[in-house]
Structure 1
Amino acid sequence: MEPVIVVGGGLSGLSAAHSVLEHGGKVVLLDKKPALGGNSVKASSGINGAGTDTQARLNISDSSQSFYDDTTKSAGQLARSNLITALTSNSASAIEWLTKNFGVDLSLVSILGGHSVPRTHRGTGGAPGWAITSTLMKKLAVEEEGSDQRAKILKNSKVVKFLQTGNKVTGVEYEDGQGQTLKIQGPVVIATGGFGADFSSTGLIATHRPDLMQLPTVNGDHATGDGHVLVTSLSSDPGVLIDMDQVQVHPTGFIDPAQPDAKTKFLAAEALRGVGGLLLKKDGTRFVDEMEKRDIVTAKMWEVIQNGQGPVRLVLGLHAATELKTHCDFYVSKGLMKKFNNLQEVAEDIQIPLRDLQTTFTSHKSYASGQEKDPYGKTHFHNSDIHEEEPFLVALITPVVHYTMGGILVDEDAHVLDASGKPIPGLYASGEVIGGVHGKNRLGGSSLLEAVVFGRIAGKRAADYVTN
């Protein structure tokens, strides 16, 4: 029996690999880097699930229909109902798969911008992307050591070509760490991630969004659109790319005071705003509903910066910082967040009168209590009872290239489609490399979900393809 070949070792590739094994297939997973994990290990806000056991335990009423509605609204005119249905209807089972099959802790739930209810799951430990992805990595390594030899992991192995017989994809050609060119036969799952670090002058960002070339990125240097190039380079009936100009600029990347001009930034998790972090102009006033969708918050930040009212700061009070203690301790240790003993110290650091900051926090508290209406339309408040004599955490932030919503056209079964809309036999794709799932804006918590849901679908379909 031929193995299923999975290209890419982030969460989507790992989900596909485990899914192949569950459905009786053999799998070979290749990654061009010396270590697996991709961008998935950096994901810091959580993974969405609607109608989960965790939500029920916390008395959160949610449904896949509600999640579908929120995602469709966020996707705007580019919404594709078949892909959104696949994402949202499989979300609860994806959470269950991670918790029951792999023992991942996803016992906490928070609300992120653009969601109508709390549905973003994470554990009590560190960043959920690392917690989930590393667990699947370890289990695949155990499978590789198994006596049946159904799993194989090839690192430092860069796929350079898909093999074809007619229009059917029959394997891959790859270069190993020694520079040798080798081939493997079998159907292929592409899980190579996005192109958010492809800043070469002829790359995908320069081609589709040249206006973003000057921005920093939070992507690892591997995110160069390899899968996009491979699938459009097929000699017979190549795959097509959609929505390639839809690049998500995340509003909050940390500006490291030690390297303010670094091209690669560290992401300030959306969860920081979810627990009550406020965004302030240089005069200490707010300018946006912190819980709005990413595209809207980013647009408001650009206005502030271009009007000379920057830099923008993210400020957390004691309760917010305590709720995300593991995250915040890490950011402080890296010098990305600075701790102040009280509001007076924050005012001195920003060089503004204390009363201006007092007004900002007092007003926000009255909006949260319902005494006044928030001028920016904020309705989700969390940890808003902030006392000026308690410690504060403050960070300088900037918009960053974060996620590429465009990519390879697939159907709801993760088949790669050609220009006529027909599936290319033997070729599947999952994770950030696929396009169209999020339309014009991705909701926070849906990248890890997309990786798991479509990875599982692609793995099952590819395993079925081999056995039929």
Structure 2
Amino acid sequence: MNKKVLSALILVLSVLLVIAGCGSGNAGNNTENKETAGPTAKATAEATSGASQTEYTPFDQLKDKYDIIIVGAGGAGMSAALEAKASGMNPVIFEKMPVAGGNTTKSSSGMNASETKFQKEQGIQDSNDLFYEETLKGGHDTNDKEMLRFFVDNSASAIDWLDSIGIKLNNITITGGMNEKRTHRPEDGSAIGQYLVKGLLQNVREQGIPLFVNADVKELTQTDGKVNGVKVVFNQVDEKTIASNAVVVTTGGFGANKELIASVRPDLKGYVTTNQIGSTGDGIKMIEQVGGTTVDMDQIQVHPTVQQEKSYLIGEAVRGEGAILVAQDGKRFTNELGTRDNVTAAINALADKSAYLVFDSGVKSRAKAIQQYEKMGFVKTADTIEALAKEINVPADQLKATLDTWNSSVKNKKDAEFGRTTGMDNDLSAAPYYAIKIGPGIHYTMGGVKINTNTEVLNKEGKAIPGLFAAGEVTGGLHGQNRIGGNSVAEIIIFGRQAGIKSAEFVKAQ
């Protein structure tokens, strides 16, 4: 079989797989059978963006050169592409997976931002300074302060920008490590990821920005120290060198690269991961090959609430809307909305390193993502607390006592047991009752390539590599030793936009 025929067959199979995957409403986090399924099948099984094949650019429309090449079609990459286009550029997006979205599709809780118009409309008193201070505290004062300052000061404008392109995030809740409601969600309170990806994809299509899937960028090209293109393999067969005046790398982190994680953090070997299988650190490797440097590579966040059998993240918004955590003895054991590292440590200190999220119908009505958890079979339910205790095999009298104590704490606005101060607007008294069994899982890699606030990639001397920009989880430094829930979506939009703007400025200056 000759090369062209083989390429055509692979392309047809990819199309069929994508179409099949996009019809599966529960596939977004489904990593079941991940040890036996092939890479394309697994990737397609995870596609829940609602994207159809018509949203991707046919291979025969590929050009030899573009103004700006964007590597990765997650939230950061699509935001960069839209801003580059708005600046008069001709950008292209290359995505190695069969569908766009990346880990953005899996985002659940929301997008943090301060001093937003939606906060003001709802009477929420917040400030950029408070957002800065709480994020710095959450990162144990190890965050890159210049990056963090830019991040918080540009968070409200990112919410405005999304709203201007039809992506409205006006349902506001709270996440761990925060003391104000600043986690912005879709209007109906649903998980943010699929909504965001669908909206960005629609804008990319409307703006006529080419987006090629099954386009695996292997290498950045340079001339005289300036990055000027990429080597990319299409459909696992056709390798081409595509030229550009600038490259923006938005390939995500390395949370699905078990070998790399084990090498930098041996203590995390064997943990499940919430990451989509494409999160293997490709961008970090290719940037290092052209002189880029990394920061905080050993800082890997373990999320405390992950459904273990399917490695599925149970979003922080469930706790933010009032859920509590109980151990197998039916007792609470920590402040559920402490920082993720502290909640994880508390769960790992339990005998079986697992716990139950317990909540009522009120929480379910406010955290729409729970509907998805029900569809996937994660949620136990009963009409009474005692019956729920039987369902999850914990002492009924103790679980009842725990909820009674918690409801009194909510009424008195004081958690005498663990000092929780947020997510206490509503008690847990509205039957039926629910529980989801959870444990910790690898969720986010805080480390990555070093950039400045212009999203320029820096070398070991701290100087910008001409023509090379990066944004999103592929970068490091912003979050320090611990990321606050809701800050990753904010990061991809804020710095994705900045990468598009600054790469366009670079091209115009040439």
* TM-score (normalizing by structure 1): 0.92
Where do residues 391-410 of structure 1 align in structure 2 (5 Å cutoff)? Answer: 391-410=432-451
Structure 1 residues 170-192: Cα deviation after superposition (integer angstroms, max 9, x where no partner): 11110111511111111100000
Whether 1:421 aligns to 2:479 is no
Q: 1:109 maps to what in 2?
A: 172
> 1:206 offset after TM fit, Å?
2.1
The answer on whether the counterparts of 1:320 and 1:383 sit within 8 Å (CA) in structure 2 is no
Give CA deviations for 1:205-237 in whole Å, capped at 9, x if unaligned: 122112212000010100000001001112xxx
The answer for unaligned runs of 5 or more in structure 2 is: 1-64
Show the counterpart of 1:131. Answer: 195
1:312 is the counterpart of 2:355: yes
Alpha-carbon shift at residue 383 of structure 1 (Å): 5.0
Match of 1:189 in 2: 248
Corresponding position: 1:340 with 2:390: no
| Equivalent in 210, 225, 228 of residue 152 of structure 1 | 210
Q: How does 1:93-242 map to 2 (within 5 A)?
A: 93-100=157-164, 102-125=165-188, 126-144=190-208, 151-177=209-235, 179-186=237-244, 187-199=246-258, 203-234=259-290, 238-242=291-295
Paired residue total: 443
**Cα drift, residue 371 of structure 1:** 7.4
Partner residue in 1 for 2:405: 363
One-letter identity of the residue aligned with 1:441: N
Deviations 1:149-199 (A, max 9, x none): xx2211111111111012111111101115111111111000000000001
Moved more, 327-336 or 277-286: 327-336
Q: Distance in 2 between matches of 1:460 and 1:64?
A: 23
- 1:283 is aligned to 329
295, 307, 324: which one pairs with 2:341? 295
Q: Structure 1 residue 254 and structure 2 residue 307: aligned? A: yes
- Structure 1 residues 340, 173: CA separation in 2 closer, same or farther (over 3 Å shift)? same
Deviations 1:333-377 (A, max 9, x none): 110112212112112123344221121011112222237642211
Contact 1:332 1:339 in 2 (8 A): no
Question: What TM-score, normalized by structure 2, do the two folds share?
Answer: 0.85
**SS of 2:457's equivalent?**
strand
Query: Partner of 1:329 in structure 2?
Result: 371
The 5-angstrom pairing of residues 77-96 of structure 1 reads: 77-96=141-160
- Among 427, 449, 457, the residue aligned to 1:385: 427
The amino acid of 1:112's aligned partner reads T
| Residue in structure 2 matched with residue 47 of structure 1 by the alignment | 111
Percent of aligned positions that are identical: 36
Q: How many angstroms apart in 2 are the aligned matches of 1:44 and 1:177? A: 30
Letter of the 1:221 partner, please give it.
I
For 1:331, what is the secondary structure of its paired residue? helix
- Is residue 368–residue 381 contact of structure 1 (8 Å, CA) maintained in 2? no
| Structure 1 residue 401: Cα displacement | 0.3
Whether the 8 Å CA contact 2:110–2:489 is kept in 1: the answer is: yes
State the structure with bigger RCO (CA 8 A, min sep 6), 1 or 2: 1
Indicate the SS of the match to 1:335.
coil
Contact 1:280 1:315 survives alignment (8 Å): yes
1:363/1:466 CA distance change after superposition, 3 Å: same
Report the RMSD for the aligned CA atoms in angstroms.
Answer: 1.5
On the 8 A contact 1:104/1:135 being kept in 2, the answer is yes
| Contact 1:75–1:442 (CA under 8 A) maintained in structure 2 | yes
Given the superposition, is the C-alpha separation of residues 311 and 456 from structure 1 closer, same or farther in structure 2, using an over 3 Å criterion? Answer: closer
For the pair 1:6 / 2:45, whether they are aligned, the reply is: no
- Aligned partners of 1:404, 1:374: CA distance in 2, in Å? 34
> Out of 335, 343, 350, which is 2:392 matched to?
350
Q: What code does the residue aligned with 2:375 have?
A: S
CA distance in 2, matches of 1:74, 1:344: 37
Alignment check: 8 A CA contact 2:348 2:354 kept: no
Shift of 1:384: 4.1
Corresponding letter in the other structure for 1:254: Q
CA 1:270–1:446 in 2, change beyond 3 Å: closer, same or farther?
same
SS at 1:399 equivalent: strand
Offset, 1:127: 1.6
CA distance in 1, matches of 2:70, 2:223: 19
- Inter-partner Cα distance in structure 2 for 1:115 and 1:22: 34
Q: Secondary structure at the match of 1:39?
A: helix
Q: 1:424 to 1:401 in 2, by over 3 A?
A: same
- Work out whether residues 347 and 354 of structure 2, in 8 Å CA contact, stay in contact via their aligned partners in 1: no
Output the amino acid matched with 2:223: T
Contact 2:386–2:397 (8 Å) recurs in 1: no
User: Where does residue 432 of structure 1 map in the other structure?
Assistant: 473
Q: Which residue number in structure 1 is paired with residue 40 of structure 2?
A: none
**Which SS does the other structure have where 1:60 is aligned?**
coil
How far apart, in 1, do the equivalents of 2:119 and 2:397 lie? 41
- Check conservation: 1:122, 1:128, Cα contact below 8 A: yes
- Residues 256-303 of structure 1 show CA distances to partners (whole Å, capped at 9, x for unaligned) of xxxx3x5xx110000010001110000100000111110100010100
- The aligned counterpart of 1:27 is 91
Give 1:5 deviation, angstroms: 0.5
Deviation, structure 1 residue 26: 0.9
* Cα distance in 1 between the residues matched to 2:289 and 2:423: 49
Q: 1:15·1:452 contact (CA, 8 Å) conserved in 2?
A: yes
3-state DSSP class of the match of 1:76? coil
Paired residue secondary structure (1:170): strand
Question: Contact 1:279–1:287 at 8 Å: present in 2 too?
Answer: yes
Paired with 1:77 and 1:379, the residues of 2 have a C-alpha distance of 22
Which runs of at least 4 in structure 1 moved beyond 4 Å after TM superposition?
none
